[in-house]
Structure 1
Amino acid sequence: MSLITLRNLGVTLSAPLFSQLNLSINAGDRIGLVAANGRGKSTLLRCTAGTMEAGEGDITRSRGLTVGHVEQQVPPALLEIPFYDAVLAALPEETQASEAWRVDVTLDSLQVPDDLRQRALGQLSGGWLRLAMLARVWVREPDLLLLDEPTNHLDLAKIALLEDWLNALPRDVPVLVASHDRAFLDATTNRTLFLRPERSQLFPLAYSRARAALEDADAAEERRYQRDIKTAQQLRKQAAKLNNIGINSGSDLLVVKTKQLKERAERLEEAAKPAHQERSAGAVRLASQGTHAKVLVTLEDAAVTIPDGTLLFRTGQRFICQGDRIVLLGRNGAGKSRLIAMLRRAIAQPDASVEGVKATPALVLGYGDQALADLDDGQTPHHALTHRFDVGDQRARSLLAGAGIAIEKQARPIGQLSGGQKARLGLLMLRLAEPNFYLLDEPTNHLDIEGQEALEGELLRPNVSCLLVSHDRSFVRAVGSRFWLIEGRKLIEVDGPEAFFASASQMGG
């Protein structure tokens, strides 16, 4: 029996997000919800939770069903409240005293350290904030769990912890999760819904296998469409021939036959639907000036320290060569971002000597960090572009539109953009700088799957060189050609990322 059934559901905002969507959610379902940024995932979750009305169709819930919805945003009013109290406050007030034990059980299941439990939510990392919002929902023991981008801001250990936690849930509790993390979807789901404006597709498979099935279905649909259109064209040609013969011979039979052929052609053309073409949320393109230097950066046993001088690790002698795509691996706090900051300073400020780091003078740096700190939230996208680069008004509008930032948003503050739009704006800035070496710290944090794959394609082009940090396992596997691991106060080269991923999973489990 279905716990919740969606029938012919549809929502249209400025354009249709989805329509005629049919979905039954049953006990034991773990459904991955996949779509580009701004294409209706959060909207569908809100409709399912009952906090938003769909424009068409209806939703039937089983009697007494409770739905737990973990949204992306943290209510500002909670930021001053200690972690423990924020979770306790999610329980009905009349039961808080007698059922406070539920809070301890929930926090234990999410491995929340004791010292964090009395810390205000506003003092927590983005990852712990996400888990705090999950704890507030789960402490009420809902019958259905809805998760909106649950891995955003989580490091590998916390992603592993969340995967293990989800997989250990009672099997009868269904979960609907919207995520751009392909490896996470593969690890936690058994069905995948690809949300589309028309004809959304559902497969009883985890993401990667469902994606392959979707591509096969789209290819078959396209072949069917082309075949039907070709048949219709042939029928029209036959009708035209018979029409000419009929006119010349005065045969009523041929006139009738001509009409029948035309009607068959029209029916085919009306019924034929082209295969789904994904409407891009904005192009991700990078550009490289190129350099003739073979060795781009030399590390001569550079010391990576925290501000008080305490040593985190030494690099040993390392070389970054043209065409290298180096992924920097290490646990949180190991010093990954500090090494990137050192390299950035050495490349961007050649006069400021950075001990142990030597960069070729031909380097043009493209830097992108996880907070997109190079973007001023008070500026508009249009102002940011025209004042930093030599592009005119019309060219700037065109570039921004191509990056998925609509005309009406180009004159609003950057702070009002979504995370995905900010990420695309940051990548557009990178592209216009035309670097020949990229330093990227969590570049996929807010990119949807389409954007991740486009960025992968750009980084895999010949002669692109980069050093990057990412918690996205699929992205790391696709892009990395070399792997540096921070371990035991040393930077060592390893054959691949899998052993580190496995150790991170053990830390999270």
Structure 2
Amino acid sequence: MANPLLQVDTLTKSFGDRLLFQDISFGISEGDKIGLIANNGSGKTTLLNILAGKEPYDEGRIVFRNSIRVAYLEQDPVFNPDQTVLEACFNHQNEIVTAIARYEEALASDTQEGLQDAFTQMDLLKAWDYEQRIKQILGKLNIHRLSQKMGELSGGQIKRIALANVLISEPDLILLDEPTNHLDLNMVEWLEDYLSRSAISLLMVTHDRYFLDRVCSKIWELDSSGLYTYEGNYSYFLEKREERISARNAETERAKNLLRKELEWMRRQPQARATKAKSRIDAFYKLEDKARAQKQEDNLRLAAKGLYIGNKIFEARHVTKHFGDLCITKDFSYVFSRYEKMGIVGNNGTGKSTFIKMLLGEMEPDSGDFDIGETVRFGYYSQDGLEFDNQAKVIDVVKDIAEVIDLGDGTRLTASQFLQHFLFAPDKQHNYVYKLSGGEKRRLYLCTVLIKNPNFLVLDEPTNDLDIVTLSILEDYLAQFKGCVIVISHDRYFMDKVTDHLLVFDGKGVITNYPGNYTQYREWKSQEDQKQVESVKPRTSDPHTFKPASPLKNKLTFKEKKELEQLEKEIGLFEKEKGLIEENLSSGTLPSDKLIEASTRYSDLLTLIDDKTFRWMELSERL
């Protein structure tokens, strides 16, 4: 049985009269990888904040195992804007950074008091190569300018640095709130592989369903103030959740039938209410609550017609755009078809959002142009489009745009009805905007775009901060949308369901038109990469045919072979010296001056071994 890391009993949390969860109990053990799912505003982030000690709770008990290391990736991390990227990583408080600080403090003091203990702790936490690990993880997350000030970075870059801090510290348990937000598709796949291979336990909130499916072995669902657990991945969760809801609805129907009989009994004796059996009256009110508890599935079909759109949509004609040395597009031409649903993919910084802004006329290309059809009416959902009056009511925000939306089949929905389709219940519609969670504000922003009834939707990262239920509704809406769609998203599941072909940006001005969804593209790309690798491998000659061997371009020179032999000897000697120093330092018999000398030499050896090993690997690959 796995060792427990955390046990939570009868946890309750509310905000005023709004109950988030009540009497929920759960445990997390070593090796658990858990995905937490709920509608926006149900308390996912609040629960993570409570476990991280950043928010109080009303009732219950939370017990962590002694000496456990916990790291938390917040949805909106905050850093000192005056720090550099590297300083932000070293100033991020965790056990390893604290150990490094203690070691450096003891080393710099006159008496070297506590140096032996500090050294032992550094060794125990594997803190000697911490800076190298920082650089490796930041590189994987496409953060390379380590001297750049934090105040100069975008929100996405800050989130990636916070993620790097979490991963570098190698905790026993990590809490992740939307870890894939602001990561491009290659980074998401790298993180997916890293977490699935790692022994770290985790509890995470994410809307990325492929990520959930491939990383998590358990799913927890917050629903109706309770917590439901599913021992399987996201696909298993979908199947079992449907069974749970069906059973719950069947139970509710039975309760409704029984309630009708009880109502008749209550009404027959109004004058004798005081003498009725108290237990039966109490049971009646409990039954009434159960009868009202039927789960309404909110993924109702919306098939908005959109305004009429002609045959001419838009044509990109020899479009070129640069930002300094970065080439976004180079002589790009494309004719967009009627009812086309296109996905745009590429690493961060390759110009996807810039392309969209040129299409919408918000930015001018260096040369070339976009010819837009006269009937095209854009609806644009941008990454930074959340600009609401926080003192306005939700219903008024939508009504200010349109009172009704035409679904195209003779059906018209009022603003209130439209909001209900996107999970804003009538009582929620009269809340002020400032009371909404981040995900709920995103959902409201989506409603303000769709209710304008455009015929060409342009969605730039629409999946960020939206819950899975809302994404399912949006996917159904787009599948039946009678118009054109362009989507930029790192959510592979969403892209697969919504788009029928891709534009792939490589960051060097080349844009590839791929006829298929994202999964098909990745399979094709993997095959092409494999062919590329195989094409540069030396081919074995036919045993029956004499062919003179052709020299390899990168074959080692005589001098490099000698260098490789010397490196092997040097690395062996350095490793042996390192082992001897470790034994002396652990003995506790060295005087203070020798202890300082040995510690300094030990740090130098680690650097030398890293440098020599890197060069050895570089040369070995060319043998």
Q: Which band: TM-score by shorter chain?
A: 0.7 to 0.9
TM-score, reference length from structure 2 = 0.65
Distance 1:22 1:432, change over 3 A: same
Shift of 1:102: 2.1
Structure number, greater radius of gyration: 2
Q: Tell me, what secondary structure is at the counterpart of 2:307?
A: coil
CA deviations over 1:335-373 (Å, ceiling 9, x no partner)? 322322222129x99xx999453222111111121121x
C-alpha distance in 2 between matches for 1:396 and 1:187: 39
Distance 1:338 1:263, change over 3 A: closer
- Counterparts of residues 125-144 of structure 1 (less than 5 Å): 125-144=154-173
Structure of greater relative contact order (alpha carbons < 8 Å, 6+ residues apart) = 1
1:9 to 2, 8, 11: 11
Maintained 8 Å contact 1:329/1:486: yes
Shift of 1:17: 0.6
C-alpha distance in 2 between matches for 1:63 and 1:480: 49
C-alpha distance in 1 between matches for 2:281 and 2:415: 49
Residue in 2 that maps onto 1:216: 243
C-alpha distance in 2 between matches for 1:128 and 1:504: 27
Residue in 1 that maps onto 2:329: 312
Structure 1: runs of 5+ lacking an equivalent: 244-258
Distance 1:37 1:286, change over 3 A: farther
1:160 to 189, 192, 195: 189
C-alpha distance in 2 between matches for 1:333 and 1:7: 45
The answer to whether the aligner puts 1:497 opposite 2:518 as a matched pair is yes
1:440 to 456, 459, 466: 459
Shift of 1:198: 3.1
C-alpha distance in 1 between matches for 2:219 and 2:467: 16
CA deviations over 1:40-80 (Å, ceiling 9, x no partner)? 1111112222333321221222223232122122224x232
Residue in 2 that maps onto 1:369: 382
Maintained 8 Å contact 1:286/1:427: no
Q: What amino acid sits opposite 2:176 in the alignment? A: L
Q: Tell me, what secondary structure is at the counterpart of 1:331?
A: coil
C-alpha distance in 1 between matches for 2:103 and 2:50: 28
- Counterparts of residues 31-46 of structure 1 (less than 5 Å): 31-46=34-49
The answer to whether the aligner puts 1:298 opposite 2:327 as a matched pair is no
Residue in 1 that maps onto 2:129: 101
Residue in 2 that maps onto 1:251: none
Maintained 8 Å contact 1:181/1:472: yes
Distance 1:308 1:176, change over 3 A: closer
Q: What amino acid sits opposite 1:49 in the alignment? A: A
C-alpha distance in 1 between matches for 2:40 and 2:301: 13
Residue in 1 that maps onto 2:372: 359
Maintained 8 Å contact 2:303/2:480: no
- Counterparts of residues 443-454 of structure 1 (less than 5 Å): 443-454=462-473
Maintained 8 Å contact 2:379/2:455: yes
2:495 to 476, 481, 497: 476
Q: Tell me, what secondary structure is at the counterpart of 1:195?
A: strand
2:87 to 85, 88, 98: 85
The answer to whether the aligner puts 1:23 opposite 2:40 as a matched pair is no
Distance 1:147 1:13, change over 3 A: same
Q: What amino acid sits opposite 1:101 in the alignment? A: D
Residue in 2 that maps onto 1:57: 60
Shift of 1:334: 3.2
Aligned residue pair count: 474
1:431 to 416, 433, 450: 450
Q: What amino acid sits opposite 1:205 in the alignment? A: G
Q: Percent identity?
A: 25
CA RMSD of aligned residues (A): 4.3
CA deviations over 1:114-161 (Å, ceiling 9, x no partner)? 843332233334443223213333444432111111111111122122
Q: What amino acid sits opposite 1:215 in the alignment? A: E
Moved over 6 A (4+): 234-237, 262-265, 282-286, 395-403, 504-507
TM-score, reference length from structure 1 = 0.79
Distance 1:284 1:95, change over 3 A: farther
C-alpha distance in 2 between matches for 1:4 and 1:44: 14
Q: What amino acid sits opposite 1:277 in the alignment? A: K
Maintained 8 Å contact 2:320/2:368: no
- Counterparts of residues 19-418 of structure 1 (less than 5 Å): 19-76=22-79, 78-89=80-91, 90=93, 91-92=97-98, 93-95=101-103, 99=127, 101-109=129-137, 111-112=139-140, 115-170=144-199, 173-230=200-257, 269=287, 277=295, 288-291=305-308, 293-300=310-317, 302-307=318-323, 310=327, 312-321=329-338, 323-345=339-361, 355-372=368-385, 375-376=386-387, 385=397, 389=401, 404=424, 407=430, 409-410=432-433, 418=437
CA deviations over 1:77-106 (Å, ceiling 9, x no partner)? x23212222222222132467646324224
C-alpha distance in 1 between matches for 2:387 and 2:173: 39
Q: What amino acid sits opposite 2:161 in the alignment? A: A
Structure 2: runs of 5+ lacking an equivalent: 106-121, 269-276, 405-413, 530-623
C-alpha distance in 2 between matches for 1:505 and 1:196: 43
